[in-house]
């Protein structure tokens, strides 16, 4: 007979020991526990350890997967240095016994964690300019829009013109995602607005 309760599955097998008496043994999926941090900086290595519960039949193999690819047969795995492309990648532990090894039960005895990569501001781009040069016409309203990426999305900015801090005509659009936007707008462009502008972004990473 088979029985399932919540996330725990068992299979009970009745075997004849002697006449008119049976012994019932229940097979169960093992519980896998994956230990390890999920937040890393670029360049760090992730280390995960998988432990399993004692069940019948006993666990005879533990496998750790990274994005669906088996990395190791064993309880511990350490990644290569991580980069931004690893953000959202999944580490999975599979505890295998004679029950979970059966095709119908292959999804049992598993657990996973999702990696989050944090990184400082990068990939700056002036979206409305050619070669990062905003060409403005005197007497008109103009702007420069600068986008960049970082995680987490908490930061401060300052804009300088020819080395001096700019304190007016700034629009900062802070968003709760990785891509941010900073706009410098002039309601009326004047000749003395010409210069070299530098945006500095400081984050928590």
Q: What topology does CATH give the domain 119-203?
A: Immunoglobulin-like (2.60.40)
Q: Is the pLDDT of residue 201 over 90?
A: yes
pTM: 0.73
**111-155 tens-digit pLDDT:** 999 999 999 999 999 999 988 899 999 999 999 999 999 999 889
Q: How far apart are CA 105 and CA 94, in angstroms?
A: 12
Q: How far apart are CA 34 and CA 75, in angstroms?
A: 9
Query: What residue ranges do the domains of the chain occupy?
Result: 2-114, 119-203
Going by C-beta distance under 8 Å and a sequence separation of 6 or more, which residues neighbour residue 91?
34, 36, 46, 48, 64, 65, 66, 77, 112, 113, 114, 115
Does residue 78 contact residue 45 with C-beta atoms inside 8 Å? Answer: yes
Top-level CATH class of 2-114? mainly beta
End-to-end CA distance of the chain: 55
**31-47 tens-digit pLDDT:** 999 999 999 999 999 99
Q: What is the pLDDT of residue 12?
A: 61
Among the residue ranges 151-155, 170-174, 194-198, the one predicted with the least confidence is 170-174
The per-type count for the chain, helices as H runs and strands as E runs, is 0, 18
**78-110 tens-digit pLDDT:** 999 999 999 999 999 999 999 888 888 888 999
Neighbours of 22 (CB within 10 A): 10
């Amino acid at each position: 007979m088979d029985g399932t309760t919540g996330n725990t599955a068992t299979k009970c097998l009745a075997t004849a020991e002697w006449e008119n008496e049976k012994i019932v043994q229940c097979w169960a999926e093992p519980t896998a526990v994956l230990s390890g941090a999920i937040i890393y900086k670029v360049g760090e290595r992730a280390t995960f350890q998988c432990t399993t519960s004692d069940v019948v039949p006993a666990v005879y193999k533990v496998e750790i997967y990274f994005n669906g690819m088996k990395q190791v047969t064993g309880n511990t795995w350490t990644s290569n240095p991580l980069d931004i492309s690893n953000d959202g990648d999944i580490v999975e532990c599979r505890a295998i016994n004679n029950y979970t090894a059966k095709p119908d039960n292959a999804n049992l005895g598993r657990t996973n964690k999702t990696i989050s990569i944090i990184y400082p501001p990068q990939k700056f781009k002036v979206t409305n300019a050619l070669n990062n040069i905003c060409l403005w016409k005197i007497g008109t309203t103009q702007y420069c829009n600068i986008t960049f990426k970082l995680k987490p999305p908490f930061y401060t900015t300052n804009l300088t013109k020819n080395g001096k801090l700019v304190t007016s005509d700034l629009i900062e659009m802070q968003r709760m995602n990785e891509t941010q936007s900073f706009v410098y707008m002039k309601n009326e462009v004047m000749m003395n607005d010409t210069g070299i502008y530098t945006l500095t972004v400081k984050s928590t990473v």
